[in-house]
Amino acid sequence: MKDNPEQVEHIYREKTDKRILKKNPWRDYRLHGTVLILVVIAELIGTQKIPITEDVAITIMPLIYTIVLGLAFYLAKPITWIGRKQARIAEGAMMLFIGVLIAKLAVSSGQSIHLIFTMGPALILQEVGHLATILVLPIALFLGFKEEAIGMTNSIGREPNVAVVVDRYGFNSPESRGVFAIFIIGTVIGTIFISFLVTLSLSFLPLHPYAFAMASGVGSASMNAAAIGPTLAAFPGMESQIEAFAGFSNLLSFCVGIYIVIFIALPLTERMYRWLEPKIGKDSITKKEED
Amino acid sequence: MPELIDGSENISVHGIFNWILLLAIFSVITVIGNYLGYKHPITDSLVGMGILSGITLAGVWMERYLPFNISSIIYISVFGIILAFPGMPTSEFVLYYVSKVELLSIVTVFLAYVGIGMGKSWNEFKSLGWRAIVVTVLVIAATYYGAAIVAHVVLVLTGVPAV
């Protein structure tokens, strides 16, 4: 990660501005043309259901095709017209397009505002449910992580969380290395992983439809997007409520979630670490991995 | 279009120009996908994307040019909620056209850009090792299930019927 601590605070804004203001990103017809082709392919294939057992089926939606094909196009050697420059523009443009997604969710929230008020307690308390990440700390210690584990398990490790951890421990601390690792891996596999996780959970877990909707607001726009897809498909006829809860819970994750991390999650993770590390800590593996 | 120079006072104009064009491209791709996937009329969904792009533009502009340190996500959410608020004069118009754009159509296009953009992190990703991948996967699952289970328990306790 090349950002220094002062920049991390406005990581979204800086990235967007650097890529959007300086170049003429709309001019990159290779990028936008490719996206159009990916979208057309994805929509033409449509949603596919793969049955596993009698009641359980994995639903693969067009959004999975576009994300996987997008990554494949970048990595595939024969496709020379999608390179690092296109990826940079895509990353900057994406930060702007998050807005459209948020706007659509906000319109659904406005339409169902009475529901939001009635479900207020559930919406606010489920933010506290995100603290469950700390349960992964013992596993991280067991795998041989040291202070890195604090950065890794205090939250889902998206941009705002990275900023908080870097601010508290410094850019070159093991805690920051940990949160950067989660950030990068989450960027690459998080979206695809959460969409399969949600698809499976929808068939296995008998939870309230609204609970699934609220849980999809994990504090990352792309993971939120990937989690809503299967949820919408699983409960036809409830689109506007599901969108309303998903949007509002994502908004809460943004406004409130960060304070939960600062005041509850990080202190709690640190305390857990100090208590558990002498008991189950292994020899550090990070040195080995870095060489 | 001339190359932009840092610090030029025209930057804001060009910035907005760039944003508008990008949003226009995004809207057109989304409307095509929306038509192929859901058969919504093209003109209606274009108007819908126009409304959503307008909200986005206002939010992004205000984040950068108003003297408050507020994220554009908050501005955009507030505008969206107000415009669709039941009883607002705008709500009927906004709801009709925005409902012609399926959320999944937007998500599909958005994630195509995400997919291409995340290719950049591929090398860093490969160097991280399986242990970190295991922890990441568990952290994401824990966040999701933590929130889902708490929400479910509170919904059941407050007596919300499972529709």
Mutation target to probe the A interface, by most A beta carbons within 10 A, among B19, B85, B143, B158 is B143
Q: Residue A84 has what pLDDT? A: 82
How is chain A classified by DSSP, letter by letter?
Answer: ----HHHHTTHHHHHHHHHHHHS-GGG-HHHHHHHHHHHHHHHHH--EEEESSSS-EEEE-HHHHHHHHHHHHHH-TT-TTS-HHHHHHHHHHHHHHHHHHHHHHHHHHHHTHHHHHHTHHHHHHHHHHGGGGGGGHHHHHHTT-STHHHHHHSS---HHHHHHHHHHH-TTSHHHHHHHHHHHHIIIIIHHHHHHHHHHHHHH----HHHHHHHT--S-HHHHHHHHHHHHHHSTT-HHHHHHHHHHHHHHHHHTHHHHIIIIIHHHHHHHHHHHHHHH-----HHHHH-
Nearest residue on chain B to A144, alpha-carbon basis: B131
In this predicted structure, the answer to whether residue A109 has a pLDDT above a threshold of 60 is yes
Closest by CA to B52, choosing from B34, B70, B39, is B34
Q: Residue A139 has what pLDDT? A: 92
Nearest residue on chain B to A38, alpha-carbon basis: B112
**Region A166-195 average pLDDT:** 85
Q: Who has greater pLDDT, A5 or B118?
A: B118
Least-confidence region, from A1-10, A41-50, A132-141, B103-112: A1-10
B7 touches chain A (CB under 8 A): no
Q: Residue A161 has what pLDDT? A: 84
Judged by CB atoms closer than 8 Å, whether chains meet at A135 and B152 is answered as no
Give the pLDDT band (50/70/90) at residue A16: low
The C-alpha atoms of residue A241 and residue A213 are separated, in whole angstroms, by 8
Mutation target to probe the B interface, by most B beta carbons within 10 A, among A59, A64, A185 is A185
Q: Residue A7 has what pLDDT? A: 43
The C-alpha atoms of residue A267 and residue A54 are separated, in whole angstroms, by 45
Contact (Cβ atoms closer than 8 angstroms) between residue A147 and residue A173: yes
Other Cβ atoms less than 10 A from the Cβ of B64: the count is: 14
Q: Residue B11 has what pLDDT? A: 41
Which residues pair with residue A57 across a beta bridge? A51
CB pairs under 8 A between A and B: 415
B66 touches chain A (CB under 8 A): no
On average, the pLDDT of chain A sits at 82
Q: Residue A18 has what pLDDT? A: 64
B62 touches chain A (CB under 8 A): no
Q: Residue B128 has what pLDDT? A: 80
Q: Residue A13 has what pLDDT? A: 62
In this predicted structure, the answer to whether residue A65 has a pLDDT above a threshold of 80 is yes
A172 touches chain B (CB under 8 A): no
Q: What percentage of residues in chain A have a pLDDT greater than 90?
A: 23
DSSP letter, residue B3: P
Q: Residue B1 has what pLDDT? A: 27
Question: What are the per-10-residue average pLDDT scores of chain B (163 residues)?
Answer: 34 70 94 91 94 93 81 85 88 90 89 86 80 93 94 88 67
Q: Residue A177 has what pLDDT? A: 86
Q: Residue A1 has what pLDDT? A: 39
Mutation target to probe the B interface, by most B beta carbons within 10 A, among A102, A141, A180 is A102
